[in-house]
Structure formats: structure tokens, C-alpha cells
Amino acid sequence: MTIAPAPWLGPLLLVSFWGLSAPASLLRRLGEHIQQIQESSHLGLGLSLGPDDVALPKVGWLEQLLDPFNSSDRRSFLQRYWVNDQHWTHQDGPVFLHLGGEGSLGPGSVMRGHPAALAPAFGALVISLEHRFYGLSIPAGGLDVAQLRFLSSRHALADVVSARLSLSRLFNVSSLSPWICFGGSYAGSLAAWARLKFPHLIFASIASSAPVRAVLDFSEYNDVVSRSLKSIAIGGSLECRAAVSAAFAEVERRLSAGGAVRAALRAELGACGSLSRSEDQAELLGELQALVGGAVQYDGQIGAPLSVRQLCGLLLGGGDNRSHPTPYGGLRRAVQIVMQSLGQKCLSFSRAETVAQLKATEPQVSGIGDRQWLYQTCTEFGFYVTCEDPMCPFSQLPALPSHLDLCEQVFGLSASSVAQAVAQTNSYYGGQTPGATQVLFVNGDTDPWHVLSVTQALGSSQSALLIPNASHCLDMAPERPLDSPSLQLGRQNISQQLLIWLTLAKDSQV
């Protein structure tokens, strides 16, 4: 059953109610915040819609099987999608299918950034599909483990197939129309895997910042962060990298001092929970690492609270005491800026409170979906960022066992089962040699996630584009006059690749 599109519900659905008492991964909060800003700013939806655009975009709902791999199970849920048909010139024109990932998907997904920016040139119908168990596409019955069994990349790909067939009928799309998948980050991996597993339905894919290799211990993340902090091209320097290490060393010194010194640190860095336990200290250090990593991962993006240049400026000369600037003072100021930007009262919580929130099986009002994403990391991907290498500029905490312990405490999954799941994912999809044809992998070398993606062409029909000094999914963001020449060239290369594919599709119909 397909439920036809309703009129655009307006920007209300873009609003996410950040629970001030609910712990959530800082990196995930940053990603959701940046997405919302890009969708609702003057460069996104907001005030830029003209009178002819009032009916756009449209929202619709698909009835999807909860368990598409069991024909005797007829339970279903409603999956949200958005449609922009403003540029669709004929029924055999291409369809750009923008896949959602581990968060809510709003109307901006079909209105700004790519693929929407590419649609006018190709006369494309643009559709975005929200991922099951995220945003408003959450099945009834809560988020207990019995329900979460139906949350995986394989289930998501089954939804793509079902949506591809249902939406073709609903919009009377010609059987000759090529479907092109787009996605960024985890959704970028889904885009590549959709072409890999269903080449008869998906003609080609653009996979941006797609971590196709699952990994248990993602120490490489901080390797890239460290290198990027030294990059002069984006405002880093050797001095900045050293200042980061000095700031973290000072945090650790104050944690070890205890008493009034530790209490002052707690107040200065915005820790809601007590810092008396080592596990709570690790939570704080982990959030501080995420703050620095986030400045690198989202460097230069609309809505990002801090760029690498701004962070380095604070660490080297800013802070609270300009007459005697210290790296710690700069880090403290950076925390204040990020917390204010996200509307957060606290930077970190106690480990016990984090676990309690992750155990909650009622869907949250916000679209972040931390419980759901933790489940996917525990059962498919890993992706646990660590800093145990002596060359890592941060604290040695938290370590891999701390991440794996969450899988055990929240879902009852052992460390060995998580490791096995990661290995199975790479075996099923092929890791960094997936073998799919007509996939363009797009990455930025500033982005820590690019080391898990495909950055070199794997044959003539599996292309790769590595954009210098570009951050995570930056090619998908709305275009700006200040975009670097390398980013502009990267987008031109994406458009050129699409032209080649669509010409190939047209020629094959003759």
C-alpha cells in the first residue's frame, strides 16, 4: 500500500527538541544541528521559497514490511519520503533517490544541496527516503531489542527496493527512467550497496563520505584529526596540534588533582555528572575529543560552531584570559561556543546516566536516534573512535573496552559478537573493494571518515573523487560563493559523471 503525498508540512518538522537532560553523542548532535541549519537557513528552505514553490516539497508515506525477509510476517510500518517534482520534465527522465541515514530527513533533502542542485540540469525527479527506525519512520512497538532486530543496513536496502517499485507506480515513472542513488556518510554506503546488490533497479550511485569498511577500533579517525590540525591550508599548524595536546594534558592534570581543582574543572567544562569516577572522567574526555574531532569533521560548513581555523585561534591566543592565553583556556572557550550553539546545558553526563538514556526504549522526540545507531554499531559496523596510540593528541581515554561495554550494558551483546558482526559486514559488502559498478565515491581529505571509504578508482566503472581540504559530506552542502576552487571542481566532476551515466542510459534505450 502506498499513501499519496500530502502538501508540504512546513518547517515545523525541521525542529528537533534537544532534551537538555538527555545525553547524546556530541558528533551526532553536531551533524543533526548542521543539517538543520543548512535546510532552514536562507541558503536552505526558510525564506527563499518563492510563490511558485509553496506546494513544494511534498511529503508522503509508504507502508513497508517490518520484516521483508519473512513472507509470513505481515506487520508493517509507515516510512516517510519527500518529493520535489519541480524540475521533472518528462516521465522517462531520471529519478534521483536521496537515501536517509541515521537521523531524521527533512524537506530540505529534496530542495537544497545535491541531488536537488543537479536536478534542473538533468530534468530529474528528486525523492528522499527516510531510514527505518529514524525520524518519523519508527515502527510501532518501541525500541526494545525484539523490535531492533529489524533495524539493519540489509533491511534498509530492502526498503529501497520496495520504495523504488512503489514510487515508480505512484508517480507513473517510465520503465526507461534511470534511478540514481545519492547518500552521505552511512547513507552514502547504502547508496553504494544499493547499486552493488540491486544493479537491475539502481542504475548508478553517488556515495559521499561513505565508510564502506566496517571497523571495530577506529583509531584512524584521530590520525586524520591530528594531521588536519597541522594543515596550514585549513588554518591548522604544528603549534595548534601541540596546543591541543597541552590542553588535554591540563584537563587530565586537573582531573587527577581532585578536590576543589576537579570541582572547578567540572564547572568550567560543563560536566553535568560527577567526575569522581574514572568512567565519568572518561565520558568528559570523550566529549572533549568529539568537540575537537567535530571541528575537523565539519570544518568550514554552514552551521558548524567551530572551524579548524577558529579552534586553533582559541587554543593559541584566545581563551578566557587574553593577557595570559593558555591552551586550556582556549579549549574552555571552545566548549562554551559549541554548547551555546547546540543549546546544550551540559557537555558530558555521568556514565550511568548515559547508559540509562540509551536503555530507554521509548522513541525520543528529537530525531537523533542514539539508541538505534548504537545498536547498528554493535551489530554491524563498530566505528568506535579510540585514542590509544601514543601519537594521538588527546587523552588515552576512553579506550575500546569502554565502547564495547556499552553494547553489553545496553543490549547484552558481548565484545566477541560485535567483532564478529563487523567481520560479517565486510564479508557481505566487500569492505573497501565492494565490486559495484557505476558508483562514484566522493570524499574530502580533511574528513576523518575518508579512510574507511574508497578514495582511488577501482576499475573504469567504479570511480573515486578525493577533494583537497574538504570535510565530511561537504560536496552535498548548499553551494556558496566562498566555496574553494577544489570544491567547485569536485562538484563539476560529479555533474560530469552523471552526464556520462545518463548518456549511457539513453544510448542503451535506443
**Catalytic residue positions, numbered:** 185, 447, 472
Is the separation of the CB atoms in 127 and 109 below 8 Å?
Answer: no
Cell numbers describing residue 471: 570535510
Least Cα distance to 300 among 218, 205, 367, 236 occurs for: 236
Paired with 217 in beta bridges are 384
In 25-155, the DSSP E strands lie at: 58-65, 76-84, 95-99, 125-129
Find cell 554491524 and name the residue.
Answer: 380
Query: Which stretches of 127-257 are DSSP H helices?
Result: 145-148, 153-170, 186-197, 220-229, 238-257
Least Cα distance to 490 among 109, 43, 35, 117 occurs for: 117
Residue 223 CA, chain-centre distance (Å), reads 19
Report the SS3 class of residue 179: strand
Report the SS3 class of residue 324: coil
Q: How far apart are CA 269 and CA 281, in angstroms?
A: 12
Paired with 77 in beta bridges are 64
Least Cα distance to 448 among 235, 296, 236, 242 occurs for: 296
